[in-house]
Structures are given as C-alpha cells and as structure tokens.
Structure 1
Amino acid sequence: MGSLNGQNNHSSLPSTHENDCLVERIRVVLSGWHGLQMAVQNQWGGLDSLHKSQQLAADIFSWFQNSKAHRIEDLENLLHESMLLSLNTEIEDGSIEEVAEQLMIMHEEYLHGNR
C-alpha cells in the first residue's frame, strides 16, 4: 500500500522548490492523520483512495495559495467534505479540527520563514 508521501504524484501541483516544500509539509501533517490513513488503507474511497488523499494535499495547497482569508472553519469544511465525498468517511472524533489547526500553524510558520 502506498503512502501520502509518495514521490510520484506531483502532476496537479505547480513545481517550484518553495511549493514542493509547502506540499511536503502538508503531506506530513496528513500522513499523521489516523482517520485519513485508515480510509486510504481500507480503500473506503475505492481503488483510487491513495490518489484521492494526494489530491486532498493538492486541494489544501491550492486553498492556502488562492484563499484571501485563511479561516480555520473553511479549512475544516474542506477537510470534512473531502473525507465524506471523496473517501466515503465520516470523521466525528475531533481530528478534523486538530488537523486543520496543525495545517494552519504549519502554514503560518512557513510564511514566516521557517521553511
């Protein structure tokens, strides 16, 4: 079974060193999310569950790049909808909020030069 940190799926992401660094940090946060990893390992989103998890990383990257205001509630909604609609997984353990907070902190650190 593959992992979210796989090196073979950068097709939907613009490639620069800085972007790659931010994407890798997003993937590290997501790879520690038990609910997402369970959905991928058990293929709850179908045979392309790994690809869907990688697309989630790309969607989060795009959200950080394109959103004018980074509200944690919007990120939580993105995570919730992606898990539910793409990976057929309802998360009710509070981990969506935890992951959103980790991503927001990671992004703030990234913006302030802690790359």
Structure 2
Amino acid sequence: MDEFRAGVTACLRSWSALRTAVQSGWGGVDSLAKAEYLRQHILEFDFSAMDCMDLEDNLAIFMEEEFSVVLEDDSERQLAETIWRMYEQCQQGDTTLARQMVAVAETALAQVEEYPVQVQSTECDDDDDDDEAMEADEAPTLVPAVSAGTLSARDYANQYLFGPPRGSQLPTVPEGPVRQLGEAAPPAPEPEMDKDGFMTVTTKGRKKK
C-alpha cells in the first residue's frame, strides 16, 4: 500500500486547513507532531468496519481538538471522500488516483511557497501582543518536501509532512496506566531515615544548558 500511503501524505500536505494550522502553530509547540499523528491515524483507520462519514468526523474532531480549528468549508468531507476512493482503488490495484494526488500536491505546494498564506489577527488577538509574539517565535517552520519526481512512493510516504517534529521524534506515551480524571493521586513514598534518625534528602542536579 505504498501508493496509498503516498497519496494520503500528498492529500494532507495540500490540505490548506492543516497546513495553515501547523504553520501558524495553532497546535502549540507540538503542531508538527500532531500533523504526523493525524497521518498515522488515517493510515491505521479501519476502512472495513467504518464508513466515509466516520473518517470525515474524525478529521473534523481532530482539527478542533488538536488545533482549535472549526472547519466551515466542508474540506474535511472532500478530503475524506478522496482518501476513501483512493483506498478502495488501491485495494483493487489501481493507483491512478493516488498518483494524481501526489501530482496535485506538488503543484499546490509550489503555489503556496510562491504565495504564502497570510494569517489575519482579530481584535481579541490585539489585546495580548506578548502572547502573540511568543506564539510566533514558537510556530514551526515548514520544510519543503523533496520532489516526488525523484522519489519512489515508499520514500515519498516516509517523508515528514511539513518537517521534523520538535526533537525529531514524536512524543512518547508514558509507561503504565494513565491516572483518570477524578482518580486520587498515588500516595507519596515514605521518607527514608538514616541511623541517626534524620531524613535523607535527595537533591536534583542542575540541568545542563
């Protein structure tokens, strides 16, 4: 399914809602990582048990929860329908649509680089200039992808969507079960006492800069 993975990569790269959200840092410092998570989520989507509307809902919910973006242009529906058709065709050995999406993405990204998106600020944004400046400094810089013409479908799909996430790796999931909302915190360990009856204190080393 390398062609399908390449097609999904191309679709997400040319999705202006996602690209603008990442470029503007609306997902915080992990915006690039969240885009990678979205691609992985789509690639792991259960196409046999779900339908196109489920995929559409997933896209809209992800954008709202992770980037605080409420889509009003029905772009999530168009994207879901394209990915769904692409999956069905690739399952039948027809990779025409997947390759077309890669070609479309190449053209779209070339236009974006020539005419970058300008994000307009609102009146509410003007009330907090310091926060705006901080977010602008933390907003990720999108890295141009290597041209698909020089890559195989597998290599194209293995590229980052918009650039390496912070730390060049996705956040790791902590070991053990996550404490649920309302669940009491685990009890603190009992202090260690030395032979003279004094408490043993462990100091943290200063982090190296």
When normalised by structure 1's length, the TM-score is 0.75
> What code does the residue aligned with 2:38 have?
L
* Residue from 16, 20, 39 that aligns with 1:38: 20
CA distance in 2, matches of 1:43, 1:61: 24
Could you say what secondary structure the match of 2:79 adopts? helix
| Percent of residue pairs identical | 32
2:67 is the counterpart of 1:84: no
Q: How many aligned positions are there?
A: 95
Q: Which residue of 71, 90, 100 maps to 1:110?
A: 90
Question: Per-residue displacement from partner, 1:65-105 (whole Å, max 9, x unpaired)?
Answer: x3433411100111011101112211111101111111111
Gaps of 5+ in 1: 1-17
* Counterparts of 2:76 and 2:47, CA distance in 1: 19
Contact kept? 1:23, 1:58, Cα under 8 Å:
no
Which one scores higher on RCO, CA 8 angstroms, separation ≥ 6?
2
Q: 2: CA distance between counterparts of 1:21 and 1:98?
A: 20
1:68 and 2:48 are equivalent in the alignment: yes
How many Å separate the matches in 2 of 1:93 and 1:83? 13
- Which residue, out of 31, 51, 56, partners 2:33? 51
Partner Cα separation in structure 2 for residue 96 and residue 112 of structure 1:
25
For each residue in 1:28-78, what CA deviation from the matched residue of structure 2 results, as whole angstroms up to 9, or x when unmatched?
Answer: 111111111100100111111111011101001111xx3433411100111
Pair 41,88 (structure 1): closer, same or farther in 2 beyond 3 Å: same
Give the residue type in structure 2 aligned to 1:28.
A
* Cα separation, 1, equivalents of 2:47 and 2:74: 24
Task: Kindly report the root-mean-square deviation, in angstroms, between the aligned alpha carbons of the 2 structures.
Answer: 1.4
Match of 2:78 among 89, 98, 102: 98
Would the aligned equivalents of 1:83 and 1:89 in 2 still touch at CA under 8 Å?
A: yes
Query: 1:33, 1:48 → 2: CA distance?
Result: 18
Higher Cα Rg, which structure? 2
Aligned residue type for 1:23: R
* Structure with the largest fraction of helix: 1
Unpaired runs of 5+ residues, structure 2, are 96-209
